[in-house]
Each structure stands twice: as C-alpha cells, then as structure tokens.
A and B are shown apart, each in its own frame.
Chain A
C-alpha cells in the first residue's frame, strides 16, 4: 500500500483523522498514479492539489518523499522505491508563503 500524508485542511475536507492515507495503486507508482488514486477515493480533493483541467500542481503546494523535494519532478517519473514499497510516505505539504 502507498502511504500518503495530507495537510490538515485536506484531511478535514476528506473527513480523515490524523493518520496517513493508505492507497492501493495499480501499475507504476508515480505522482500521477498516486494522486489519481487519492482523488478517486476522495473526490472532494479534486482541484485542491492539482488543477482540474491541466492537472498541474497548485502553486502553493509541494510534494516531498524520502527527504527529497519532488515538486518539480515529471508527474510520470517513478516515485522513490521506498514510497512504492510503502516504507516511506508521499507527502503533500502546504508551502509557506508570506509572513
């Protein structure tokens, strides 16, 4: 299972507790397949992480895993093996903007 960590407001929106989301991802584990699976299970999150139409990451969100910033990696590149094996979470993080 793929582990995903969401920021507070998205957990609230999806009516989740404080824990991680566990997702069953078919095929290669990439940003796109993980987010597809997340939005399929929690459709109220559509548009909150990626643009509805372009599917680009929203500007004030970042993606991290295994202490790496994956925000600017191509969405179809494989995520780190530890994420694919469920050993490390894929993290959606609100970027800090302003003061």
Chain B
C-alpha cells in the first residue's frame, strides 16, 4: 500500500511525519538536528530513502546532512559515522559544508558585488543554503540554492560542492538586491522532460532559465511588474516569491510574485496576471495539483507589511482554471483569531490518486488535505515555526 513521508524543516530542527495512503493516522519523528534552523529537506526522486537536509545557524554556519535510510540515521556526507574522519593523506574530509563562490579568473572574476538595500554595491557573502533540489535521475547529484544568491551543484552525494557560475555571471548580478529575507535562490525547478532545462527564482532579482544544464542563464521576467520600479522593461529586480510547474506541462509555470499571481505558458518568455478574485495579492507559496495542471493553490497574506493571513482566517485558495477564478478552502482550518504566515517553501503536494496538499505555518502547525483541498486536518499543532514542507509518495 502506498504511504507518504512529510519532511518538515523548522527553525528549531527537522521532523518526519508518516502515514499510509489514507493520510489519517500519523507518526511524528523528531526533532532531528534539534536547535538548528532547517531551511529545507528533500528526498531523491530516484532513491526515496536518500534524503538531503540543509541545517544552518547564524552562529555556526552551514551544514549539509544526508540520510540513506529514509531519515532513520544521518551523517554529513564525507564523514559517515564509524569511518575515519581523515583521508589516507591525513586531510580532513569535512567538505560537505564548504560552499565557496567561484572566483577563478576564467569564470568567476567579474562576480564580485551585488546591490545592497541602500543601492550601494556589496560583496557576495555566503550565508546559508535555502533550498536543496535532488536530481531527477541521479541520487548523487543535487543542486543547492544559496544566500547570497547562487546555484551550487554536487555530483558526489553532497560531499563536495561547486558553484555553477553562469547564473551570477549572467551580467545582471550587480543589479540583484536582497528582499526582506535576504538575497537567496529559493526555488529550483528541474524540467522532467528536458534534462538541460532548469528554472530558478531569486528574491529579489527574478526568474532565470537555463537550457544548457546550468551553464548559461536567461532572465525570464517579461510581464512582471514592481510598483516602485519605473522601468517596465527591466530584465531583473523582481521579488519572485515562488514558482511551481505542473509535471504534465513543462512550459507552464505559476508564480507567486511579491504582488500578484502570474502565469506563463511559454517557459517564462512572457507572464500574465491571473490573480483574479483573490482577496489580497500578496503571499509566499504556490503549488500545483499532481494530476490536474490547471488546479493551483495559494495562501493569500494580508500585506507585505503584516505577513499574516487576511481577516484572521486561514484560507487556502484553489483555482481549477489555471488562475483567474479562485475559491477559498476553509473546512478544518481556523477561521478566527489566526495570524500565521505560510513561508514560500512550506507547501507541497503528494502524487496519490486523491492528491494530498500539505502546508506548514509560522505557528508550528502542519496541515494536510487528503482530498485536494476540500477538507483539512492538522497533523501537528505545536512544532516550531515551519520553514519548509516536502512530501514523498512511497510505494
């Protein structure tokens, strides 16, 4: 029988929630890496027991953890438990937390500064990994979106990392500016039909597409608007909060922009506004039904100044028309005195026949809907602030 494994990253550790395909009775395990910020966890689509975790701390920096048994045991790649911690030559093996920007004369030389909040130029400084995205084909290959914005890749199971410098080297890097949460690559979408095509999104630079497996990148922001940016033809400078791709239509992407829900059907060449009748235009997560490419989910937030749900009611909005027309989903969700937020990486869908939708809140709740959003139930109520939610559908 099918089952699901929900990977929850919180500000104070990681949790793993499991249930069978009915998604009614849940087992909660954790906290793993207690006390650390877990920005993201994700499993390999090729080997579901291979999990990767971004563990970080303002004090101690970035750690990458890996599990090869579905989360039962963890280790930092390169220093597995029980093995010698140095190479035969005596050098330390702890390289998995080493994210160093490319400064080579060939590819990294010009990548020196980005725009700071006050408009001045600021050096690139690595802070943390926001998002890990395992390859669709190779369990040892994985991408990492980091702050300050750059894309890294490992091909040895996260033991060592190398920047894909073409993204920062696109030529607009000096114009990228941090959003309120920092300047991070927060979304990585790997095209299931084209191994050379990758989409990424940066807050606050915009969306980029690579058609050569990450060597070169093109900004794909035409049609996006920012209220305070006078140049409507600007290539970059957009606070994209999240993008999501329906598996069946790889040229379609949905976006929660800082303000407005946007849609493209030509792989980002042009975007159009599909906010329609949503009660507010601000929010963070967006996701797509696993089997219905026109069914999408968002959680409108009152405003960019308040960062909590509208009218004290936690409402997921669903569109079955690819945007434009939206319906509130409220059954099982608090409809009074609720002032949580749902962060950009904290919504996910499973691939069971009756598609399940999951999201975590800044109040520590993780909700599930086993009927595509019609009804909701809290799996857990009192976790720390939820930073990310991913789900694996297991056979």
B-binding residues in A (CB < 8 A) = 7-10, 12-13, 15, 39-49, 52-53, 58, 60-61, 94-95, 97
Q: Chain A residues near B36 (CB, 8 Å)?
A: 9
Are the CB atoms of B94 and A45 closer together than 8 Å?
A: yes
* Other contacts beyond A43-B86, A44-B76, A48-B97: 15, CB < 8 A: A8-B35, A9-B59, A42-B94, A44-B79, A45-B94, A47-B61, A47-B94, A52-B97, A52-B100, A58-B60, A60-B59, A61-B60, A94-B59, A95-B59, A97-B58
**Chain B proximity of A98: nearest CB distance (Å):** 9
Inter-chain CA distance A45–B93, complex, in Å, is: 10
Q: Return the chain B residue nearest A97 by Cβ.
A: B58
Q: Return the chain A residue nearest B55 by Cβ.
A: A13
A8-B35, A9-B35, A13-B63 given; A43·B94 CB < 8 A: yes
B252 within 8 A of A: no
**Chain A proximity of B156: nearest CB distance (Å):** 16
**Chain B proximity of A92: nearest CB distance (Å):** 10
Are the CB atoms of A40 and B62 closer together than 8 Å?
A: no
Inter-chain CA distance A53–B125, complex, in Å, is: 12
Chain A proximity mask over B73-99: 1 for CB below 8 Å, otherwise 0: 000101101000110001011110110
Contact of B94 among A8, A10, A46, A95 (CB under 8 A): A46
Residues of B within 8 A of A (CB-CB), count: 24
Q: Could you give 10 example pairs across A and B, Cβ below 8 Å?
A: A9-B35, A40-B86, A43-B78, A43-B85, A44-B79, A46-B97, A52-B98, A58-B59, A61-B60, A95-B59
Q: Chain A residues near B251 (CB, 8 Å)?
A: none
Q: Chain A residues near B34 (CB, 8 Å)?
A: 12
B57 within 8 A of A: yes
Q: Return the chain A residue nearest B60 by Cβ.
A: A48
Are the CB atoms of B60 and A9 closer together than 8 Å?
A: yes
Most buried by A among B35, B61, B63, B86: B61
Inter-chain CA distance A67–B6, complex, in Å, is: 47
**Chain B proximity of A42: nearest CB distance (Å):** 7
Inter-chain CA distance A61–B61, complex, in Å, is: 11
Q: Chain B residues near A13 (CB, 8 Å)?
A: 60, 63
Inter-chain CA distance A18–B346, complex, in Å, is: 35
**Chain B proximity of A63: nearest CB distance (Å):** 13
Are the CB atoms of B94 and A39 closer together than 8 Å?
A: yes
Are the CB atoms of B100 and A7 closer together than 8 Å?
A: no
**Chain B proximity of A38: nearest CB distance (Å):** 10
Inter-chain CA distance A39–B62, complex, in Å, is: 15
Are the CB atoms of A47 and B57 closer together than 8 Å?
A: no
Q: Return the chain B residue nearest A42 by Cβ.
A: B85
Q: Chain B residues near A48 (CB, 8 Å)?
A: 60-61, 63, 97
Q: Chain B residues near A95 (CB, 8 Å)?
A: 59
Inter-chain CA distance A94–B78, complex, in Å, is: 26
Contact of A43 among B58, B61, B79 (CB under 8 A): B79
Inter-chain CA distance A52–B95, complex, in Å, is: 9
Inter-chain CA distance A39–B58, complex, in Å, is: 19
Inter-chain CA distance A44–B93, complex, in Å, is: 8
Q: Chain A residues near B35 (CB, 8 Å)?
A: 8-9, 12
Contact of A39 among B60, B61, B92, B100 (CB under 8 A): B92
Q: Return the chain A residue nearest B35 by Cβ.
A: A9
Contact of B92 among A7, A43, A97 (CB under 8 A): A43
6 residue pairs, one from A and one from B, having the closest CB atoms: A43-B94, A43-B92, A48-B60, A46-B94, A60-B59, A94-B59
Inter-chain CA distance A39–B36, complex, in Å, is: 20
Are the CB atoms of A7 and B59 closer together than 8 Å?
A: yes
A8-B35, A52-B100 given; A43·B60 CB < 8 A: no
Are the CB atoms of A40 and B63 closer together than 8 Å?
A: no
Are the CB atoms of B57 and A9 closer together than 8 Å?
A: yes
Contact of B85 among A9, A10, A41, A53 (CB under 8 A): A41
Are the CB atoms of B92 and A47 closer together than 8 Å?
A: no
**Chain A proximity of B53: nearest CB distance (Å):** 13
Q: Chain A residues near B94 (CB, 8 Å)?
A: 39, 42-47
Contact of A47 among B78, B85, B98 (CB under 8 A): B98
Are the CB atoms of A61 and B59 closer together than 8 Å?
A: yes
Q: Chain B residues near A9 (CB, 8 Å)?
A: 35-36, 57, 59-60
Inter-chain CA distance A60–B56, complex, in Å, is: 13
Inter-chain CA distance A48–B90, complex, in Å, is: 20
Inter-chain CA distance A45–B96, complex, in Å, is: 11
